[in-house]
Amino acid sequence: MAPRHFLTLLDFSPAELDALLDRASELKRGHRAGEDQRRFPGKVLGMVFAKSSTRTRVSFEAGMAQLGGHAMFLSPNDTQLGRGEPIEDSARVISSMVDVVMIRTFGHDIVERFAVSSSVPVINALTDSFHPCQLLADMQTYREHRGSIAGRTVCWVGDGNNMCQSYINAARQFDFELRIACPPGFEPDAALLAANGDRVSVGHDPAAAATGADLLVTDVWASMGQEAEQQDRAKAFAPFQLNAELLTRAAPGALYMHCLPAHRGEEISAGLMDAPDSVIWEEAENRLHAQKALLEALLDSAANA
């Protein structure tokens, strides 16, 4: 039987995602209480990173160790992946030796092709199109502070990038309204928008999108791979900063998030980043707990297949 993968949020049903977030919070409480969570001795996670990472690498590697297994860092610079070995051949070989694989890369088609040839579950740890693991942490964080996000309004301010597109999928799976405010020309994928037009809208006015929102979210203006566009983007995105003034338009008690790494004074003001009640740091920590719940779900599904 083909293994279960997590390439986008759509790979799990809304009910499965809810259960996963419950489990993530349970694992978090247990971890903080010093619980022994080593359920998967001898299991190995292969981690393929074609782009840089701090949070994703640390959370997957620490998480796998806490679950009793082992994580192996694989970079295209020093594996045959960087010398042109076909993705399909690499997937076949790597998955014959490990129990689960996570991949961070450029084109989303690369993780899809890897998954087709993999005999074990594959996790998308960020592509140019989607970053579903971050959404697990964001949704866990919202729920822990404010309860269910169903029926709420989320405002995305900034680039229509991989994070924004994952918020579009999240709007569907977690049942909220998403208002996107981006500069003209930086909208998310048109087909993805068209498929979610019942709950996702796009405009170019951050203040209008933020009005009454329960959650404001932003991300860098130039993603990994777009470094050469940094300066041009900074001009186009200047009116799209998440700051205290924008937050005053949101609903009382609104939260704000950023997946990090951030540029203080660009997409988010230093004041919000460093506010004592910011949940951004807990959002980052929740990557650990949410991904442990994800690893557990995928390893259990493989064991029961």
- Binding partner of 301, given ligand CP, ligand NVA, none, CB within 5-8 angstroms per partner class: none
Write the secondary structure of 13-35 as one string of H (helix), E (strand) and C (coil): CHHHHHHHHHHHHHHHHHHHCCC
Q: In sequence order, which residues have a C-beta less than 8 Å from that of residue 86 and are 6 or more positions away?
A: none
Does residue 110 touch ligand NVA according to CB under 6 A?
A: no
223: partner contacted, choices ligand CP, ligand NVA, none (Cβ within 5-8 A by kind):
ligand NVA
Catalytic residue positions? 104, 131, 134, 219, 259, 287
Identity of the residue, 95 or 223, whose beta carbon is nearer to ligand NVA in the bound complex: 223
**Residue 172 CB neighbours (<10 A):** 17
Between residues 3 and 167, which has the closer beta carbon with respect to ligand CP?
Answer: 167
- 250 contact partners, CB below 8 Å, separation of at least 6: 155, 210, 211, 212, 213, 214, 216, 256
Q: Does 72 bind ligand NVA (CB under 6 A)?
A: no
Partner from ligand NVA, ligand CP, none contacting 62, C-beta within 5 to 8 A by type: none
For the CA atoms of 32, 272, 201, 164, what is the dihedral angle to 10 degrees? -60
What does the per-residue mask of binding to ligand CP show for 128-147, with x meaning CB under 6 A? ------x-------------
Q: Are 233 and 266 in contact (CB under 8 A)?
A: no
Q: Which is nearer to ligand CP, 126 or 298 (CB)?
A: 126
Selected from 111, 170, 215, 259, the binder of ligand CP by CB under 6 A is: 259
Nearer to ligand CP, 153 or 166 (CB): 166
Of positions 2, 14, 54, 225, contacts ligand CP by CB under 6 A: 54
Write the binding mask 161 to 180 for ligand NVA: x where contact by CB under 6 A, - elsewhere. Answer: xxx-----------------
| Complex with ligand NVA: residue 219 or 296, whichever CB lies closer | 219
| Cα–Cα distance, 96 to 298 (Å, whole number) | 16
Give dist(CA 19, CA 143) in Å, integer.
12
Q: Indicate whether 161 belongs to the interface with ligand CP (CB under 6 A).
A: no
Residue with Cβ nearer ligand NVA (111 or 163) = 163
By CB under 6 A, is residue 59 in contact with ligand NVA? no
CB 53, min distance to ligand NVA, A: 8
Write the CB contacts of 272 (distance below 8 Å, at least 6 apart in sequence).
242, 243, 244, 247, 256, 278
Q: Helix, strand or coil for residue 267?
A: coil
Closest CA to 21 of 286, 235, 244, 198: 286
Eight-class DSSP state of 68: T
Using CB under 6 A as the binding rule, whether residue 268 contacts ligand NVA is answered as no
Q: Do 175 and 150 form a contact (C-beta atoms < 8 A)? A: yes
Q: Which stretch binds ligand NVA (CB under 6 A): 24-32, 175-183, 202-210, 219-227?
A: 219-227
What does DSSP assign to residue 10?
Answer: G
Of 165, 223, 241, 291, the residue at the interface with ligand NVA (CB under 6 A) is 223
Q: Hunting for tokens 């909220």 — which residue is that?
A: 176
User: To the nearest whole angstrom, how small is the minimum distance from the Cβ of residue 280 to ligand NVA?
Assistant: 13
Q: Which residues bind to ligand NVA, rule: CB under 6 A?
A: 126, 161-163, 219-220, 223-224, 259
Binding residues vs ligand CP (CB under 6 A)? 53-56, 126, 134, 259-261
